[in-house]
Amino acid sequence: MTSVASPNEVETTTAELRRVASETDDAVERDKLTLYTAPLLTRPALPDELTDEQVGEMVTFFDYSGLVDADHDDDAVRGKVADMVRAVSPGNIVTFLFDQGPDRMSLIHAWFGPHFPLFRHSHPQLGDCLYYIVGGSAVLGSRVLGPGDGFFVPNGAPYKYRAGPEGVEILEFRAGGGDPDAPILKLHEPAASSLDRITEAATELRQQWDPPARIGDTPRPA
């Protein structure tokens, strides 16, 4: 799962979302047919709308220990992660559609704006993941994937992609099987300076990011 700053998740952890769901009449049960309906997408937060406390909370999702070195101590890398989180916030929306809790089925919808520079990362806590592209396109290396295409990421495997010129909407299917003691999100960028480049790219792209109101509104690639 790769939202960084959807407003409905700024102050709410994944564990908290699951706790809230389990305490409502709409809690998802594994042994019965369950329907869900597509919500309107929440507008992503602009960088200056995020408080330092909110950004700090989001930084706690990241394991960035692999980027700490002799030239960049923990505080320096944490600051770079915070700058990146703030810069990419207008370009992504992540929405929970279905969630049975740990080690069960979940489905997440994500939107990334045109040319969104997703950082290289893994989700070792969350298990294997199957991705399905709903709209727009995603660029993985030399491959361009469009609606109906997708890819599989084994638990803990690092990956990254870039949204195409239309942006991309993607569904994320998980069935558990991760390590509950592992990080939710682990950074695998080659160096701390890579975070600066992502921050700079996101800042330049911000004016191109016009989020859709509904799932499926992103056009097909030309």
Residue 200 structural domain:
51-208
- Give domain status of residue 66, yes or no: yes
When the pLDDT of each residue in the chain is averaged and rounded to a whole number, the result is 89
Above pLDDT 90, what percent of the chain?
83
Angle at CA of residue 178, ends 100 and 39, nearest 5°: 35
- Give domain status of residue 14, yes or no: no
- Give domain status of residue 16, yes or no: no
CATH number (domain holding residue 77): 2.60.120.10
Average pLDDT over residues 107-135: 97
pLDDT of residue 102: 82
- Give domain status of residue 46, yes or no: no
pLDDT of residue 2: 52
Average pLDDT over residues 29-43: 88
CB distance 216 to 132 below 8 Å: no
Each residue's pLDDT tens digit, 72-118: 999 999 999 999 999 999 999 999 999 998 889 999 999 999 999 99
Place of tokens 């997703």: 118
- Give domain status of residue 217, yes or no: no
- Give domain status of residue 36, yes or no: no
Using the predicted structure, report yes or no on whether residue 222 has a pLDDT greater than 90: no
Each residue's pLDDT tens digit, 53-72: 999 999 999 999 999 999 99
Average pLDDT over residues 130-155: 97
Domain count, the chain: 1
Point out the least confidently predicted range of 28-32, 80-84, 152-156, 195-199. 28-32
pLDDT of residue 21: 43
- Give domain status of residue 114, yes or no: yes
pLDDT of residue 5: 46
CB distance 6 to 90 below 8 Å: no
Task: For residue 9, name the pLDDT band (cuts at 50, 70, 90).
Answer: very low
Report CA-CA distances (Å) from 183 to 1, 90, 119, 148, 212.
12, 24, 16, 30, 30
- Give domain status of residue 1, yes or no: no
